[in-house]
Every structure is written in C-alpha cells, then in structure tokens.
Amino acid sequence: MFIPDPVIHRLPVYYRHLQQLHLQGVKQISSHGLADIMNLTASQIRQDINRIGAAGRQGFGYSIEELKNYIAGLLAMNQKRKMIIIGAGNIGHALAQSGSFAGESFETIAVFDNNPEKIGTAAGNYTVRSIDSLQSFLADHPVDIAVLAVPADQTQRIAENLKLFGVKGFWNFAPIDLVLGTRAAVVNVHLTDSLEVLSYQLDQLPKSE
Amino acid sequence: MFIPDPVIHRLPVYYRHLQQLHLQGVKQISSHGLADIMNLTASQIRQDINRIGAAGRQGFGYSIEELKNYIAGLLAMNQKRKMIIIGAGNIGHALAQSGSFAGESFETIAVFDNNPEKIGTAAGNYTVRSIDSLQSFLADHPVDIAVLAVPADQTQRIAENLKLFGVKGFWNFAPIDLVLGTRAAVVNVHLTDSLEVLSYQLDQLPKSE
C-alpha cells in the first residue's frame, strides 16, 4: 500500500488524538468531529482514512479504538526500537534525560560523544561512551535508530559510518537534510520549520489590542 | 486568503529547499522537479502553489527567487521576532545555546526559570532570570514568542499568565496540546511524532540483509 508522505506525517497526530479520546471513554467519532480536532476538512479526513486502507461506517463514523489500533499497527508501535544518542551536547542531554519515548516504544540504550571531557560523565541515566567504541558496541547490541545530535558538519560522515555498522534508522537534529539512500530511514527534525509556522500564525492574528 | 493547515506546514520546507537551490544558482524549477525534492506529486505541488496564491508559467515552471521571496513574505520572515525561553532545563539550554533561529529572524532576549539554583547561572549567553520578574521584564521588553520548556503540568498555567502579560506566540516543547483561544498563536512541537514517522519508514525498508 502506498501512503503519501503528508498522510504519513499526520498519522502520529491522529494517533495522539485518538488515544486521548479513547482514554476519555469516547467510542466513536464522525469525520466532522475528527476534522475539528485535526484542523482539516471532513473530506480530507475521509480521504486520509481511505488512503491508509481503513474505513468508517455509514451513519456511525469511525470506531476510535479500531482506528487507533490500526494506525498503531501502521506506525509499528508494537515493535520496541532500540536507540543510541550520538552527541552529548544540550540536545543529546535533553533526549537522554527522557530516555524512552512514546511509552516504552523507543528506548535509549547508550549515549556517545567524541569529546574526552564528556566521555565518562553522566547524561540522564547513561554514562557517555567514547565514539571510538561505537563499532564494538553495535556488534554486541543491535540498534534500530541513531539519534544524531552532533554539529552539522560532522553529521553526514557519522551517519554513513553508522549505516556501515548496520544502523538503519536516523533521527537527525542537525539543521541539514541527511541523504543515505534507499536502505536507510531518515527523519530530519528541522525545529526551525515549526517556528516559521508560528510566525505565519502570529501574522494572521487579529491586530486589535 | 485561506491556506489549509497542511499546506502551511509545508511552507518552511518549500522555503528551505528553494533557498538552497537559489544559493546553488538555480533559476527555475518545474513542478516535477519540486515534486522530487518535496516527496510529493507534481499535481500536489501545483495545488499547493495555487493555494498560496502564487503561480508558475506554462513551459517555464516556477522562478525560484520569486517563489522563495513570496513564501518568505507569507511566513513573515522579514519581521524580527523577539523570544523568551521559559525553563532552563536541558531543552531550554539547548535552545538558549542557539540564541537566534532562521538567521536573525527569531532572537532570544532572555531566559527564565523558577528554580533558585538555576537563577543567576548561565544558559548560552544569557543569565537565567527569576520567573517572578517576568511581568516587569515584559513591561519593558515587548516579546512576540514565549518558548515553553517547562514540565508538562506547569505549561498551561504559565502560558495563560504570559498571555495575560501580552505575549501572543507560544512555541511549546512540553508533550501536551496547549489551548489558548483565538487571540494567541500556538505551535506544539511533539518531537515524538517525527520519531513515529521514522518507525513507519523503518518498517517499509526492504527486509534483506
């Protein structure tokens, strides 16, 4: 099944809202109800849900639990992903502090840096390891995702090495677009994008005091 | 002009790629060329660009400089936005270290925390101020955006106070959806969303070794 990129990027948002409704005890929702929550039109909601191969029922709408579980399946949320953090600067520390993400779906197992002053210090509950020990670490500990929190000019080279060592997923916080070919999965975070969206929204506010 | 939310969220991505092409000296691009870069179809590209009120020319495509400048205008990137960071934990520190974002478009002018052990310490080039001094600070220094990097259970209350003190833009890093009504602009970052997209992409990779 081919799912367009914009729809894929909305799946976690659907999931979050459906999870919240589910916890509130809501059982079903119409495309109009979802449209309000998602800030889309009802027809976009129906199109998204058709695209992912799910369906509602005429006059009933969507079963929240079914749709939530279906999206969780698409996002492979039942699979535990092991992560390592590369770079123990501020972003690396912030992420190491969280340790795991999305419940226990994503679990950090180690943190690496190349700075001798950082190696051996604490980052969250982890002791920062030398980046020179990466290859031997990966031989013993299979890892799904490398979190890249290193300077932009080092990111591509480090990612290529990690790929050679067998890592297939890359969550990149450096402000560049990593390119690693079709045998790796890459998400470039680009925090500034959301700040520019905020700037647009600020400009749309009513100008009165 | 009404621009649908998904299109707004793509504008910074268009801008980044157009800026890069512009720096490489590229003058024009077809909808198919943009489609490759944006991971969309050519018809989605044409639809997006119609939606924002821009246009290409038959047989020529889009002028990169014109489209880039047009999107920069929509994103109000010529306006300098003043920001304060609330919370000098790891995320607050990481953001304070950057100081400004998107060139000089977004400039951090102060960092606040409520923890006496953090007040007076350094965060990037800033000295952490007491959150008790927020109101008097804002009276003297108009601020466009508050960056919220405080624990989730304090975020809503702090944001409501900031709104009372006149702040209209909120860049929220706590894993909750802030709700502040129609007279404030809010972007909730939700880092985990992009991690779940990565999980989806990992699941789509060819399974061979």
Q: Given this model, what pLDDT does residue B99 score? A: 85
**DSSP at A50:** H
Query: Pick from A12, A74, A199: which is nearest to B77 by CB?
Result: A199
Inspect the interface and report whether the beta carbons of B77 and A9 lie closer than 8 Å. Answer: no
What percentage of chain A has pLDDT greater than the value 90? 78
Q: Given this model, what pLDDT does residue B103 score? A: 78
Give tens-digit pLDDT for B53-68.
998 887 788 999 999 9
Q: Write out chain B residues lying below 8 Å of A195, CB-based.
A: 101-102, 106, 145, 171, 187
Q: Given this model, what pLDDT does residue B208 score? A: 60
| Residue in the block written with tokens 């080279």 | A157
Q: Given this model, what pLDDT does residue A62 score? A: 94
Q: Please choose, from the candidates B73, B58, B62, the residue with its C-alpha nearest in 3D space to the C-alpha of residue B3.
A: B73
Query: Pick from B77, B91, B190: which is nearest to A196 by CB?
Result: B77
Give tens-digit pLDDT for B110-155.
999 999 999 999 999 999 999 999 999 999 999 999 999 999 999 9
Q: Write out chain B residues lying below 8 Å of A18, CB-based.
A: none
Q: Write out chain A residues lying below 8 Å of B203, CB-based.
A: 76, 79
CA of A56 vs chain B CAs: smallest distance (Å): 23
Inspect the interface and report whether the beta carbons of A200 and B76 lie closer than 8 Å. Answer: yes
In which band, very low, low, confident or very high, does the pLDDT at A187 lie, cut at 50, 70 and 90? very high
The separation between the first and the last C-alpha atoms of chain B, rounded to the nearest angstrom, is 50
Inspect the interface and report whether the beta carbons of B168 and A192 lie closer than 8 Å. Answer: no
Q: How far apart are CA B134 and CA B153, in angstroms?
A: 19
The CB density around residue B63, as the number of other CB atoms within 10 Å, is 17
Q: Please choose, from the candidates B145, B10, B16, the residue with its C-alpha nearest in 3D space to the C-alpha of residue B85.
A: B145
What is the gyration radius of the CA atoms in chain A, in angstroms? 20
Inspect the interface and report whether the beta carbons of A196 and B75 lie closer than 8 Å. Answer: yes
CA of A155 vs chain B CAs: smallest distance (Å): 17
In which band, very low, low, confident or very high, does the pLDDT at B206 lie, cut at 50, 70 and 90? confident
Q: Which residues contact B197 (CB under 8 A, 6 or more apart)?
A: A8, A9, A11, A12, A75, A187
Judged against a pLDDT cut of 70, whether residue A209 lies above it is answered with no
Q: Write out chain B residues lying below 8 Å of A44, CB-based.
A: 4, 6
Give tens-digit pLDDT for A59-102.
788 999 999 999 999 998 888 999 999 999 988 998 998 888 88
Q: Write out chain B residues lying below 8 Å of A51, CB-based.
A: none
Mean pLDDT of chain B: 93
- Mean pLDDT of the B157-181 span: 94
Cβ atoms A54, A64 nearer than 8 A = no
Query: Range with the lowest mean pLDDT among A8-12, A66-70, A101-105, B105-109?
Result: A101-105
Inspect the interface and report whether the beta carbons of A75 and B199 lie closer than 8 Å. Answer: yes
Inspect the interface and report whether the beta carbons of B199 and A79 lie closer than 8 Å. Answer: yes
Helix (DSSP H) and strand (DSSP E) numbers for chain A: 8, 11
Query: Range with the lowest mean pLDDT among A1-5, A131-135, A201-205, B29-33?
Result: A1-5
3-class secondary structure, B126: strand
- Mean pLDDT of the B74-94 span: 93
Q: Given this model, what pLDDT does residue B119 score? A: 98
Q: Given this model, what pLDDT does residue A25 score? A: 96
Give tens-digit pLDDT for A130-172.
999 999 999 999 999 999 999 999 999 999 999 999 999 999 9
- The one-letter amino acid code at A50 reads N
What percentage of chain B has pLDDT greater than the value 70? 99
Per DSSP, the residues of A112-176 read EES-TTTTTSEETTEEPEEGGGHHHHHHHS--SEEEE-S-HHHHHHHHHHHHHTT--EEEE-SSS
Judged against a pLDDT cut of 60, whether residue A33 lies above it is answered with yes
